[in-house]
Amino acid sequence: MNELKATTGETFPLKSSLFWDDNGTIDSTWGYLARNVDDAKRQRMVGWQASKEMNTMVFLTYNRDQNCLVNPFVQTYGPDVDWAEAAKWIERFRPGLFGANLIPCLFCDDDPDTARNVAFHDYYIPAACIALGPYSRAICVGLEMNEQFSIAAMEHIIALCHTYTDKPVVVHMQWNMTDPLPAGLDGLIYEHPWHPKDGDLHSADEVASIGAQVIARAGIPVGFNEHNLTPWSPRGREQTRALAKLPCFLVGGPM
């Protein structure tokens, strides 16, 4: 938590555009490590982020969706590491050794089978935290994690992360501000309560007002990522600038 709150020598909030414009096609950084993303597209993704002065990137490290297949193992759930794939990952992580803020996300919540596979959690999480920790700004336990994972499952995963990494442990999700957050979190990456494709329908004041409520109720550091599918639009930039005025550690788009 202290690392997320620190401001000495750094610019806060961090800036991370989950969505980006790939020559007129809206894409996301979730697939940075996906097997079906070629290096040319990966370079466009990073180049677009740099051109918009983003300094942080969040991406998946395990996902069974064939449209965004991310898996460092030979089998679906391991145990054999695909060492050729792992070598590519380590090269893609190298900027994290030199100041880039990389936040790997362990699980995608579109997959209930993986959410229920506790044996895989117990196998994968320690290995992932040990391997990714040196390159990472934080570890995100899951994308929209409350849709498939129970509070108990999330708390088990969070506790495992804390056992195997000293990096802050965060989660990305839409939170209703009434249910308890999982214990042990160092931060919440909050998704606003609408589909991001509807982002331009909401004013900057509304986005910031909801953000302020989340910060007041969460009791842990809060960041924002996923309030607008096109955060580079005029409305999206207004929203991001409004969020950046709040005491948060992350905002989701260019300003």
DSSP state of 180: P
Mean pLDDT by 10 residues, the chain (255 residues): 45 90 96 96 94 94 95 95 95 89 93 94 96 95 94 97 97 96 97 96 98 97 96 97 96 93
Residue where the block lists tokens 């596979």: 117
Domains in the chain: ranges and CATH:
2-251 (3.20.20.80)
Residue 104 CB coordination number (10 Å): 27
Residue where the block lists tokens 């209930």: 112
DSSP state of 202: S
Residue 98's pLDDT is what? 85
What gap in Å lies between CA 35 and CA 15, rounded to an integer? Answer: 26
Backbone angles phi, psi at 218, to 5 degrees: -70, -40
Residue 224's pLDDT is what? 97
On whether the CB atoms of residues 29 and 20 are closer than 8 A, the answer is yes
Residue 110's pLDDT is what? 85
